[in-house]
Structure 1
């Protein structure tokens, strides 16, 4: 597939959308839009905060939201209550767009509990499943550790890693459902993806917003511990 057919946008909370939301500015979440320009279909990865703005942004590109990919259940990624704040997420999105929410099998219960979204909208996946958006294939990888059903997405030489792996560091393993031993296994799995794969993390916790896996393995201390 030619690169000009792939639709891929990285959107930073508090800057590209939810500009006036102080929490969004502090949390610096990334949302991703991935799709096929030829068919006009796309999915949103971890839509939270100003979800209607996110739909407007992709529609301005002549794209339509046909689904959601959730990396994990935390409210800053899928919506819900966090630190006394109510964050818009997939429940609010469904009020505007009727679409499936793709989650990892082990995360289904956690997402439902956090967001209030019912099973009729949640589609459970196993590691290795491929979601096709037009001619764009997205491979789902189960990467537990930060949460039981954390998952990452491989698409056209890009790795969308949620809170499993950042350019510097990895996701916390001291929260409910976390498991340090499983995180080590997941990092080893991600360490085997091709070096020229570009890592796109779930937060902007570094000066750069993306980097090749070769660069990440050189500068990220977690790979020294594996």
Structure 2
């Protein structure tokens, strides 16, 4: 398993390219911007991109989806509950002038697979499984890759969690989602949508919001 991390876009979104070294089949998680750079890396590393996996559908996680899908033919996977965010007006109107500036760059080709709890896809002998973790958005998900990695999007950050004050956010849902992750058996590398990397055990021990979720 090879994983490359990129920090893309105006709000420093973490994007991850993961692939199998033998088959070169792979997927990209949350390509939020910098499409040309991401496509160049996919090509240079000879990755046969099978899927574009989205933890949720906020603009800063999807702006490069259209270009990558056209360049690779990869299937787009996203939660049906975030479908409303795939309309540019609905997605960008809360951001005022900045949102209007982004309108011309909003390029989403549509979903190939609507993910829900337990949806899984395979590539290069690896299995990516979706877990519903609403709170940041109604369709926010954590993606587990085998028994090794959690792509936690804007649900779980290092010693922090995603904001819930944007349209569709819900703090009580966030707490339930953090409790769900806390109770997940085992330990995993945590690869979040922003900020630094972590592990699930570190978050169990040091994340104050996860502690609040467990103790409420």
Give the CA RMSD over aligned residues. 1.8
Find the counterpart in structure 2 of residue 12 from structure 1: 7
Partner of residue 166, structure 1: 157
Which whole-Å CA distance do the structure 2 matches of 1:59 and 1:189 have between them?
37
Separation in 1 of the partners of 2:83 and 2:76? 10
Once the two structures are TM-superposed, the CA of residue 37 in structure 1 deviates from its matched residue by 2.1
- Runs of at least 5 residues in structure 2 that lack an aligned partner in the other structure: 92-105
Distance 1:100 1:62 in 2: 18
Could you tell me which runs of 5 or more consecutive residues in structure 1 were left unpaired when the two chains were aligned: 1-5, 14-23, 80-88
Determine whether 1:96 maps to 2:86: no
Which is richer in helix?
Answer: 2
Deviation at 1:29, TM superposition (A): 1.3
CA-to-aligned-CA distance 1:121-150 (integer Å, 9 cap, x gap): 432011111110131111111111100101
State the alpha-carbon separation in 1 of the partners of residues 75 and 119 from structure 2.
15
Residue-by-residue CA offset, 1:28-86 (whole Å, 9 max, x unaligned): 2110112222221111111122112112113222212222011111111102xxxxxxx
1:78 and 2:73 are equivalent in the alignment: no
- Mapping 1:74-223, distance limit 5 Å: 74-79=58-63, 89-113=64-88, 114=91, 115=106, 117-119=108-110, 121-156=111-146, 157-204=148-195, 209-223=196-210
Distance (Å, rounded) in 2 between the aligned partners of 1:74 and 1:214: 27
* 4+ residue segments displaced more than 4 Å: 112-116
* Contact map agreement 1:194 1:213 (CA 8 A) in 2: no
Question: 2:21 maps to which residue?
Answer: 37
Q: How many residues are aligned here?
A: 196
* Distance in 2 separating the partners of 1:224 and 1:214: 12
Structure 2 equivalent of residue 3 of structure 1? none
What is the rounded CA distance, in whole Å, between the counterparts of 2:131 and 2:141 in structure 1?
A: 5
Instruction: Give the Cα separation in 1 of the matches to 2:109 and 2:42.
Output: 25
- Contact map agreement 2:190 2:200 (CA 8 A) in 1: yes
Secondary structure in 1 matching 2:179 = helix
